[in-house]
Structure 1
Amino acid sequence: MTSHSSDSIERIPCRVFRQAVDASRSVAQQIAAMIRGRAAEGRYCVLGLATGSSPTGVYDELVRMHREEGLSFQNVVTFNLDEYYPMQPAELQSYVRFMNEHLFDHVDIKPENVHVPDGTLAEGDVADYCRRYEAQIAEAGGIDLQLLGIGRTGHVGFNEPGSGKNSRTRMITLDRVTRRDAASDFFGEDNVPRRAITMGVGTILDARQVVLMAWGEGKASIVARAVEGEISTIVAASFLQEHPNAQFVLDQAAAEQLTRSQEPWSVGPVEWSDKMIRKAVIWLAQKLQKPLLKLTAEDYNEEGLQDLLATCGSAYDLNLRVFRTLQATITGWPGGKPEGRKQPGDRTRPGDHIFPKRVLIFSPHPDDDVISMGGTLIRLVDQGHEVHVAYQTSGNIAVFDDDAERFTDFVGEFNRHFGIDVDRTAELESHIDRFLKHKQPGQVDSEEVQFIKGVIRRTEARAAVRCCGVSDETLHFMDMPFYETGRVRKKPLGEEDVRITVDLLRQVQPHQIYVAGDLSDPHGTHRVCLSAVLKACGEVAHDEWYADSQIWLYRGAWQEWGPDQIEMAVPISPEELLRKRVAIFKHESQKDKALFPGSDPREFWQRAEERNRTTAKLYDQLGLAEYEAIEGFVEWKGDMSLI
């Protein structure tokens, strides 16, 4: 864990942890110490609480401490930040339900001490209610510690851009970006309420302590703006710069755009490891928009890298060192090049002696394989490797209802034509028709509807990889249990999920394993699927076959590895890029408009091609060969902090 230093350009103290679980544990310990301290003094501890994915780890740890360490909540009073309007407490998306499920139902807090904004009020009663909410906070003695997350617009609570420093609890209209980000919870943006009741910025600033938590690369940009940028109503979180006892608690991914991560040499002495040298030299080249081999000693000196030159040698040597490192990442043979195909000057890579290889590609959803590494998948098949694709989840919640109706019609017509179980078919059609006609926004699908949506995703996955030359015999539909809730919110990773993964690894015994290594998936499924594979690899690590295995991390539809991170860069030709696009198109239920598009409104094929072309352009700008597109990978070398 690293902390804020007094000479930093960070205007809010930041604590950065390797992973979110460690950060959450630290925050929970801070809260527990405050609760116990107030109890020892015979006083109430007043907590301001947040919802969303950021605080769930804190609540999990507090519940554990209550059960295992006797942490009592008898002296705790809570005030939640916000609630959608209108919203019934029992609805899936209700913050009342969220808090009950994650915390209140599992500890001994007094029900009368719990306060969550009321989304059931008549509109005319909201203003008076908000004034009473402020009065209740004051009567409780004010908030001792306020937990916060941060939205992509920089909002805290639902204080959207334009919220003033002195704003108080009130009704607010939600920003389009906020509603788009919430679309997954409501099974579509059209179902997201347009308004919410929220504490104001002023209410938050009145708290004696404020802890803002952020996890993942998707929050990195707005965290940097809030911490290092100017105070502005455009970024409500920036007002925390004026708070005397505020802190940001981040994982490394959320902190990656802070100056301490982007340019660590500019905030203090660094150890010039190979990784740090590569990062600094590429940073310099990109900042000056110069190829690596054209950087001069003056460039290094003028941009604050004098210590690098003094420690590691001449500009020429540094340029050449990093250029050759980056050049060595490029390979058109991701599975290794057999001896009989090598040309004079070809490099020998680890694993080249095994050809062809068994390759196992793990795909969190039924389309991540072709979206994220479709070009490399095509290369591996065309070059003669035995390619297996494992779809870790069914992806059944990401199908529109009208697609389910259309495929039900197809099944009905087919069965009636051939006289196949006509009565049961009619019964199924009737159920699905009734269910979908009366389905409420955000309602969990029935078992039958979930099944047919899962079948849609399976058939699309098969069609997509057939375009890439993969046979049906090497496809594996894992249907991991953690995913099968019918809701966006999933169960925690369980022993059965890991066991299924271990069994598949031992069945295939792959020489290469490809895993989604991006942590910015807004629904968290990628993170859980990555953890499952890495835990399973830990269990099979002593198997004889595993000694010949390599694990490569690819990134998905949300972002790409940077040029300073990539360890294998696979060039994609124009023809291969077109084949990749056709494979993505086979996922028709995700085409034109995906149910859960995340923060980027473009289609998945557009995002993928843009990422791949951008990576190729970066290589070109750094002075390397010019390619149509590049897919990047990082090798996993056993760093268990990713789990």
Structure 2
Amino acid sequence: MARLNLLEETRFEKLLVTVYPDKQIASVKVAERIARLIRRKQEAGEQAVLGLATGATPVGVYEELVRLHKEEGLSFQNVVTFNLDEYYPMQPDAPQSYVTFMNENLFDHIDIKRENIHIPDGTLALEEVVTFCLNYERQIEEAGGLDLQILGIGRTGHVGFNEPGSAPNSGTRLVTLDDLTRRDASRDFGGKENVPTKAITMGIGTIFKAREIILMAWSGKKAPIIKKAVEGEVSGEVPATYLQLADNVEFVLDADAASELTRFDTPWLVKDCIWDEMLIKKAVIWLSNTLRKPILKLTEEDYNNNGMAQLVTERGPAYNINIHIFNKLQHTITGWPGGKPGADDSQRPERALPEKKRSIVFSPHPDDDVISMGGTFIRLIDQGHDVHVAYQTSGNTAVWDDDVLRYMEFAIDLENSLGRDSSELQTVYDNMRQFIQQKQPNQVDTQEIRNVKSYIRKSEAIAGARYAGLPDSHIHFQALPFYESGKTSKYPVTDADIELTMELLQQVKPHQVFVAGDFADPNGTHIVCFNIIAESLRRLKQTEDWVQDCWVWMYRGAWHEFKPYEIEMAVPLSPLEVIRKRNAIFKHQSQKDTPVFPGDDSREFWVRAEQRNRETALQYDNLGLADYEAMEAFVRWHF
């Protein structure tokens, strides 16, 4: 019976999928499987032939393999490896090369024989590539074929660098990279313009020949493409769907990457559910959106025809469910994000007391406060709360070099106009200009340049907070040490980051803390900053009484909003408040027009923010609630 239930749950899935709670557990499990293969081959006196991948996804697997080698004696003497791909052209000692990646993350830390390592050669002359690729295929065959192929997946659905349009029988070859793939790699190269347009990759046909294939994916950022790869039709537009045709393939996912699969996203379509409040809310909103009917107009027939008969049977009639969910959504809407004085707060998202709250907005970058919750930020100040803002990082990696020279030229002109000696500034400027002219992609800036970039972001943040109505005494710049590497990859978080945050929290003793709740990118600054705040509050909770009365509200950044069923506080904005928020964002001049790291959305930040807030308001309107100009959304975090 259990097996039949599992088959029913996974009936939309066209290949084997294993889901773990998080990427750490999943990575350890995959590493254990690799270790078992290596040891089994050792006992038989055979080589273990591994196909390896690069990128953020397999890093945890490699870390665990290194641990197994150093602490449990796992030897790699009998291991032969073939990497999936390499950028072309690419020097092997370049920071972005996959040779460098593999050495830093695995090969330099284990006892593998260097002659057993194979990585596509990015230094070849163009006319040598075809011969190299044919030889790469022959080397794999001569080694006995791949015992196990490890894969990640790109947002285009590529495996290796087999982009949309790749043939299922393709072999190792030179390919042209998809624009989205290059955008995703832009941070590693200091801009998309520096990302190679081509790569050498194993083909899908080569991957298919492996005796075992494991594709790994972590984070909600990968959830949409995972759904297509697992549940979609086989198509060259999503090359990972070809894996549905392979023997002995398994997708290993964390919970976030699996979140859009039918059994997790809309489980009522595949099984009987335990109907808690969150699932009921999610299901009713889904039904309303699917049928394009306001919640209060949904009928029992609508429920029965869309996999939700069990809900009506257990919690019905349908109209009672409709009223219940409609009221829950209505109660999330408030024009008083700090609580409404003198009001009954039993059905409101925030407490009425104390009437004047101490609130602190933590902004990972110097503009997240106004981009993500600028309307609520201004509303809290207008309503008389004691509001502070804390800019957690300098944001100095996201300033154009041209802006540095422009500000330095301004400073020199100012010194001259005041009759002061500007020769020292001029020397610094000349050195900066020379460095910038010779700067290599992703090269770390000099300390002077990094300082000026920090000053630019700081001055803009002050201007934005002042425009919102905040006094200078309530504007805090933390410059957390983890960020100050000068590179897109940051230092590890240490107690220094946590202690700085604890000190500020102890100083303010807030009733409300607003934090960035963007977790789609597991290596992003936002989640690192969130974890620092979370750990600081956990530690303070042991000794500080005020923490018991502190509520933490999460907001989202400029790209994605919370789902309607997740939202616990929705703050409506009037047309005038939308304009005020826009003007606060405009104070961040270095981030206007084209920012240094735009992601895959070419719109300016203020446009993204306004359209996202408008879309949230439209979702509430479509569900049958009031039609507001815009809405900012929040979810409470319980620590």
TM-score class, shorter-chain normalisation, is: over 0.9
Q: Which amino acid aligns with 2:483?
A: Y
Q: Which amino acid aligns with 2:391?
A: Y
- Cα offset, 1:67, TM superposition: 2.8
Structure 2 equivalent of residue 641 of structure 1: none
- Cα offset, 1:228, TM superposition: 0.5
SS at match of 1:433: helix
TM-score by length of 1: 0.95
| 1:165-184 → structure 2 map (5 Å cutoff) | 165-184=168-187
- Cα offset, 1:346, TM superposition: 8.6
Distance 1:41-1:430 versus aligned 2 partners, 3 A rule: same
Distance 1:75-1:541 versus aligned 2 partners, 3 A rule: farther
Provide the C-alpha distance between the structure 1 equivalents of 2:63 and 2:360, rounded to a whole number of angstroms. Answer: 34
Structure 2 equivalent of residue 600 of structure 1: 601
TM-score by length of 2: 0.96
State the identity as a percent.
55
User: Is residue 2:590 matched to residue 1:589?
Assistant: yes
Distance 1:493-1:49 versus aligned 2 partners, 3 A rule: farther
Q: Verify the 8 A CA contact 2:18 2:253 in the aligned structure 1.
A: yes
**The 10-residue stretch of structure 1 (298-307 or 529-538) with the greater mean CA deviation from structure 2:** 529-538
**The 10-residue stretch of structure 1 (317-326 or 485-494) with the greater mean CA deviation from structure 2:** 485-494
Q: Which amino acid aligns with 1:353?
A: L
User: Is residue 2:135 matched to residue 1:132?
Assistant: yes
Provide the C-alpha distance between the structure 1 equivalents of 2:459 and 2:88, rounded to a whole number of angstroms. Answer: 39
**Count of matched residue positions in the alignment of Structure 1 and Structure 2:** 634
Q: Verify the 8 A CA contact 1:568 1:632 in the aligned structure 2.
A: yes
Tell me the alpha carbon deviations over residues 145-202 of structure 1, each in whole angstroms, 9 at most, x when there is no partner: 2221111111111111100001111111111111122122111111111111111111
Provide the C-alpha distance between the structure 1 equivalents of 2:229 and 2:393, rounded to a whole number of angstroms. Answer: 36
Q: Which amino acid aligns with 2:113?
A: K
Q: Verify the 8 A CA contact 2:345 2:352 in the aligned structure 1.
A: no
Structure 1 equivalent of residue 253 of structure 2: 250
RMSD value over aligned CA atoms? 1.9
Tell me the alpha carbon deviations over residues 553-609 of structure 1, each in whole angstroms, 9 at most, x when there is no partner: 111122110111111111111111111111111111111111111111211111111
Q: Verify the 8 A CA contact 1:365 1:393 in the aligned structure 2.
A: yes
Structure 2 equivalent of residue 197 of structure 1: 200
Structure 2 equivalent of residue 19 of structure 1: 22
Distance 1:350-1:173 versus aligned 2 partners, 3 A rule: closer
Provide the C-alpha distance between the structure 2 equivalents of 1:125 and 1:487, rounded to a whole number of angstroms. Answer: 34
Q: Which amino acid aligns with 1:223?
A: I
1:299 to 293, 297, 302: 302
Provide the C-alpha distance between the structure 1 equivalents of 2:345 and 2:626, rounded to a whole number of angstroms. Answer: 16
**The 10-residue stretch of structure 1 (18-27 or 611-620) with the greater mean CA deviation from structure 2:** 18-27
Q: Verify the 8 A CA contact 2:349 2:568 in the aligned structure 1.
A: no
Structure 1: gaps of 5 or more residues: 639-643
Structure 2 equivalent of residue 399 of structure 1: 399
Tell me the alpha carbon deviations over residues 618-640 of structure 1, each in whole angstroms, 9 at most, x when there is no partner: 101111111111111111123xx
Q: Verify the 8 A CA contact 1:521 1:558 in the aligned structure 2.
A: no
Provide the C-alpha distance between the structure 2 equivalents of 1:198 and 1:104, rounded to a whole number of angstroms. Answer: 20
Provide the C-alpha distance between the structure 1 equivalents of 2:515 and 2:35, rounded to a whole number of angstroms. Answer: 37
Provide the C-alpha distance between the structure 1 equivalents of 2:130 and 2:495, rounded to a whole number of angstroms. Answer: 49
**The 10-residue stretch of structure 1 (81-90 or 422-431) with the greater mean CA deviation from structure 2:** 422-431
User: Is residue 2:83 matched to residue 1:80?
Assistant: yes
Tell me the alpha carbon deviations over residues 273-297 of structure 1, each in whole angstroms, 9 at most, x when there is no partner: 1111111111111100111111000
Structure 2 equivalent of residue 59 of structure 1: 62
User: Is residue 2:147 matched to residue 1:144?
Assistant: yes
Provide the C-alpha distance between the structure 2 equivalents of 1:3 and 1:245, rounded to a whole number of angstroms. Answer: 21
Distance 1:61-1:515 versus aligned 2 partners, 3 A rule: farther
Structure 2 equivalent of residue 441 of structure 1: 441
Structure 1 equivalent of residue 632 of structure 2: 631
| 1:349-388 → structure 2 map (5 Å cutoff) | 351-388=351-388
Structure 2 equivalent of residue 119 of structure 1: 122
2:191 to 175, 188, 192: 188
Structure 2 equivalent of residue 502 of structure 1: 502
Structure 2 equivalent of residue 559 of structure 1: 560
Provide the C-alpha distance between the structure 2 equivalents of 1:592 and 1:508, rounded to a whole number of angstroms. Answer: 35
SS at match of 1:6: helix
Distance 1:31-1:300 versus aligned 2 partners, 3 A rule: same
Provide the C-alpha distance between the structure 1 equivalents of 2:51 and 2:168, rounded to a whole number of angstroms. Answer: 18
Tell me the alpha carbon deviations over residues 21-50 of structure 1, each in whole angstroms, 9 at most, x when there is no partner: 222222222222222332233322222111
Provide the C-alpha distance between the structure 1 equivalents of 2:565 and 2:160, rounded to a whole number of angstroms. Answer: 35
Distance 1:527-1:24 versus aligned 2 partners, 3 A rule: farther
SS at match of 2:121: coil
SS at match of 2:633: strand
Structure 2: gaps of 5 or more residues: none
Provide the C-alpha distance between the structure 2 equivalents of 1:473 and 1:114, rounded to a whole number of angstroms. Answer: 58
Provide the C-alpha distance between the structure 1 equivalents of 2:481 and 2:371, rounded to a whole number of angstroms. Answer: 24
Provide the C-alpha distance between the structure 2 equivalents of 1:599 and 1:293, rounded to a whole number of angstroms. Answer: 37
| 1:566-581 → structure 2 map (5 Å cutoff) | 566-581=567-582
Provide the C-alpha distance between the structure 2 equivalents of 1:533 and 1:33, rounded to a whole number of angstroms. Answer: 39
Q: Which amino acid aligns with 2:479?
A: D
- Cα offset, 1:230, TM superposition: 0.6
**The 10-residue stretch of structure 1 (328-337 or 347-356) with the greater mean CA deviation from structure 2:** 347-356
| 1:164-563 → structure 2 map (5 Å cutoff) | 164-339=167-342, 342=343, 347=347, 351-420=351-420, 422-521=422-521, 524-542=524-542, 543-563=544-564
Q: Verify the 8 A CA contact 1:4 1:13 in the aligned structure 2.
A: no
Tell me the alpha carbon deviations over residues 36-94 of structure 1, each in whole angstroms, 9 at most, x when there is no partner: 33223332222211111212222222223333333332222221111111111222211
Tell me the alpha carbon deviations over residues 343-393 of structure 1, each in whole angstroms, 9 at most, x when there is no partner: x89946553211311111111111111111111111111111122212222
- Cα offset, 1:261, TM superposition: 2.1
Tell me the alpha carbon deviations over residues 441-464 of structure 1, each in whole angstroms, 9 at most, x when there is no partner: 222212221221121111111111
Provide the C-alpha distance between the structure 1 equivalents of 2:50 and 2:472, rounded to a whole number of angstroms. Answer: 54
Provide the C-alpha distance between the structure 1 equivalents of 2:476 and 2:253, rounded to a whole number of angstroms. Answer: 36
Could you list the structure 1 runs, at least 4 aligned residues long, displaced by more than 6 angstroms after superposition: none
SS at match of 2:26: helix
Distance 1:191-1:345 versus aligned 2 partners, 3 A rule: closer
Distance 1:345-1:337 versus aligned 2 partners, 3 A rule: closer
Q: Which amino acid aligns with 2:121?
A: D
Provide the C-alpha distance between the structure 1 equivalents of 2:578 and 2:205, rounded to a whole number of angstroms. Answer: 51
Provide the C-alpha distance between the structure 2 equivalents of 1:321 and 1:102, rounded to a whole number of angstroms. Answer: 52
Provide the C-alpha distance between the structure 1 equivalents of 2:582 and 2:522, rounded to a whole number of angstroms. Answer: 23
Provide the C-alpha distance between the structure 1 equivalents of 2:66 and 2:89, rounded to a whole number of angstroms. Answer: 29
Provide the C-alpha distance between the structure 1 equivalents of 2:40 and 2:164, rounded to a whole number of angstroms. Answer: 37
Provide the C-alpha distance between the structure 1 equivalents of 2:500 and 2:73, rounded to a whole number of angstroms. Answer: 36
Provide the C-alpha distance between the structure 1 equivalents of 2:419 and 2:216, rounded to a whole number of angstroms. Answer: 59
SS at match of 2:599: coil
